[in-house]
Amino acid sequence: MQAEKPPSPHTLKLQKKIRAYATGYLQENMFTLPNLPPLDRIRKLQEDRANSLARRATEEKAQRERAMQERLQAAKMQQHKREGSGDFNRNRPPGKVHTGRRTSPESGVGNGWGPVPVMQGSSPDPMLQQIDIIKSYIKQAKEQHKFDEVDMLQKNLMELEAEYTRQHQKR
């Protein structure tokens, strides 16, 4: 084994200057640091923080629950609207005829068009379910005269049907 070389005089001088600078810096700045609070004050601060975090967690949980309730209520309203829309003019006052156009906020100007989600029969194959859904969206888009959406949806339908036949040919 090779013995370690002693540091050169230049290295020793550099280390001595670094040590002196660090000592001077600490002596100068340590007196300006505030003292630590007493132990009982630290415990009280920790308790306050824990209580604050617990309160915040319960508030966030309550907010999530309220949002979930609002979403469920909106979904029930949508379902109720869909179920009640079989006869468009049934509940309308005389003289008011439904034109077939939606006036909901989803179809307003600036929001773009979006199909109304439909409940489809429960097919065992998810791809068949998706094909049925896209077909219903195409029908809705045609009724709304949204021809760009019809084109896009028809392309998606062709791709989906091609994938479906490709997968079933493998079997």
Q: pLDDT tier at 44 (50, 70, 90 boundaries)?
A: very high
pLDDT tens profile 63-118: 988 988 888 888 888 877 777 655 444 454 554 444 444 444 444 445 566 777 76
Q: Classify residue 142: in a domain, yes or no.
A: yes
Q: How many independent structural domains does the chain possess?
A: 2
Residue with tokens 């949980």: 61
Check whether 11 has a pLDDT greater than 90: yes
What whole-number distance in Å separates Cα of residue 138 and Cα of residue 150?
A: 5
pLDDT above 70 coverage of the chain, percent = 77
Q: Classify residue 92: in a domain, yes or no.
A: no
Domain boundary among 24, 59, 82: 82
3-class SS of residue 111:
coil
Cβ distance 150 to 142 under 8 Å?
yes
DSSP E strands in 55-121: the ranges are none
pLDDT tens profile 129-167: 888 889 988 999 898 888 888 999 999 999 989 988 988
Cβ distance 113 to 153 under 8 Å?
no
Per-residue pLDDT, 2: 62
Residue with tokens 């949002």: 67
Radius of gyration of the chain (CA): 36
Q: Classify residue 20: in a domain, yes or no.
A: no
Q: Classify residue 114: in a domain, yes or no.
A: no
- Give the range of the structural domain holding residue 150, as residue numbers without chain letter: 121-170
Any idea what the CATH number is for the domain that residue 147 is in?
4.10.860.20
Instruction: Count the alpha carbons within 13 Å of 110 in the hemisphere toward its beta carbon.
Output: 1
What whole-number distance in Å separates Cα of residue 45 and Cα of residue 47?
A: 5
Q: Classify residue 137: in a domain, yes or no.
A: yes
Q: Which of 112, 133, 134 is nearest to 121 (CA)?
A: 133
What whole-number distance in Å separates Cα of residue 64 and Cα of residue 58?
A: 10
Q: Classify residue 24: in a domain, yes or no.
A: no
Q: Classify residue 93: in a domain, yes or no.
A: no
